[in-house]
Amino acid sequence: DAGVIQSPRHEVTEMGQEVTLRCKPISGHNSLFWYRQTMMRGLELLIYFNNNVPIDDSGMPEDRFSAKMPNASFSTLKIQPSEPRDSAVYFCASSAGALNEKLFFGSGTQLSVL
Amino acid sequence: KNEVEQSPQNLTAQEGEFITINCSYSVGISALHWLQQHPGGGIVSLFMLSSGKKKHGRLIATINIQEKHSSLHITASHPRDSAVYICNTDKLIFGTGTRLQVFP
């Protein structure tokens, strides 16, 4: 299996632009997590899906952030409009179960908003 | 809300030393995860624990459910163990991480 695949690896954009991050989970995994990592706050959960349904989106910073999982093999995290404080590494991870199964991480997307 | 605390924040060791990293949390959980983040940024899951103890090579993870505490031990540490080690509860809340440097 190719593992969790994220794209792009790096994204540089200007403030106000729309940013879309993509994730393909491991085939057969039914839980998908979006995390953000910054120097100041470390790793934080943004949202997670179970069987394509959003279960907990309490970590989504504000209305500028939205996430979708239209099918079991694809998820997007969109920021519109982007702001410099959104600059971070965004990780997608998947697991075979919601809580009691091991997590598998993608390589992350390094986002820089200028 | 669960609070997750890790200690120490930074750890320096000589090759061969025994390493212990601690993680405490404040509310009951289903599972605790130990993660390793390499200098290049990639994150790997080392262990998922619900109770007791797990061992993989030189790494041992333990959890005490009653005390809400988990430890990660590295026996015979090696420079390639240098990384940030992060604990996580139920995939939801992360500790702040422990930066480990092992010198030859």
Which class for B100: exposed (0-12), middle (13-18), buried (19 or more C-beta within 10 A)?
buried
Residue A1 has pLDDT above 70, yes or no: no
Q: Is the minimum CB–CB distance between B94 and chain A shorter than 8 Å?
A: yes
By the 10 Å C-beta count (0-12 exposed, 13-18 middle, 19+ buried), A25 is classed as buried
Neighbours of A74 (CB within 10 A): 15
Question: Which pLDDT tens digit goes with each residue over B52-74?
Answer: 999 999 999 999 999 999 999 99
Closest CA to A42 of B31, B90, B87, B11: B87
DSSP SS3 for A84: helix
Test the A interface: residue of B1, B38, B91, B96 with most A CBs within 10 Å: B91
- Measured between CB atoms, which of B45, B90, B94 is closest to A43? B94
Q: What is the pLDDT of residues A35-89, one digit of tens each?
A: 999 999 999 999 999 999 999 998 998 899 999 999 999 999 999 999 999 999 9
Please tell me whether residue B79 adopts helix, strand or coil conformation.
Answer: helix
CB distance A43–B42 less than 8 Å?
no
